[in-house]
Amino acid sequence: MPFVNHDNESLYYEVHGQGDPLLLIMGLGYNSLSWHRTVPTLAKRFKVIVFDNRGVGKSSKPEQPYSIEMMAEDARAVLDAVSVDSAHVYGISMGGMIAQRLAITYPERVRSLVLGCTTAGGTTHIQPSPEISTLMVSRASLTGSPRDNAWLAAPIVYSQAFIEKHPELIQEDIQKRIEIITPPSAYLSQLQACLTHDTSNELDKINIPTLIIHGDADNLVPYENGKMLAERIQGSQFHTVSCAGHIYLTEAAKEANDKVIQFLAHL
């Protein structure tokens, strides 16, 4: 199993397929297995690199404060480990925050950006409802089984219509999610990093092709945040996934994968 040591921590990564390098960065509390509906399709055309952010999966889970800047350095270390000078970068949610920071700090390492269900943060960030914000914090102290806790959080990350129509697909996602449990302390460290993320005054530094994807039924990172990113990143493209919640990777897997392939094919 490939690991890279960085900042006294161990980061697990995998490489799938061949072609132009494409780094995938996952969101809050989720490990790289959560790309399971994305990797098989994209790996037919690209050299897909996935990794576990610090705090999740097989990577180290230090009990210390995290920051988006710190996790962007982790992402850079993974690119170094696979000898990739520059890559297309696709991040969702927290992973989209990391991708923004990576592109701003190391523009020579990022060929293009795909930012899914994410935000620039800062004072202009549109917050979720108070109920969802409270539940996001309280998830670390839930006493049920990992599977039960994941189901309790389903209304945060999936649209209600999808929960009713496709519980079996949500169950598949949850099974991937709980194969390796994220410790509460690591989840809270990642959450704190998200809450302090702010690129709102730096987006003009992103001068590469950028695609922004957002579901218009996203309860966790409201849709307006995606639109704001598109308005502030010059020349970016914006794609709405109609009626989809936060995890559009599952609710509209084919649509999302097709859109990413179409976008990257023209670069």
Q: Which amino acid appears at position 224 of this protein?
A: E
**Could you report the per-residue pLDDT of 84-100, keeping only the tens digit for each?**
999 999 999 999 999 99
- Report the C-alpha gap between 104 and 83 in whole angstroms: 20
**Could you report the per-residue pLDDT of 115-174, keeping only the tens digit for each?**
999 999 999 999 999 999 998 888 777 777 889 888 988 999 999 999 999 999 999 999
Nearest-CA neighbor of 27 among 124, 119, 103, 110?
119
pLDDT band at 256 (very low <50, low <70, confident <90, very high): very high
- Report the C-alpha gap between 36 and 202 in whole angstroms: 32
Q: For strand 20-25 and strand 87-92, is the pairing parallel, antiparallel, or unpaired? A: parallel
pTM assigned to the model: 0.97
**Which domains are seen in the chain, by residue range?**
3-265 (3.40.50.1820)
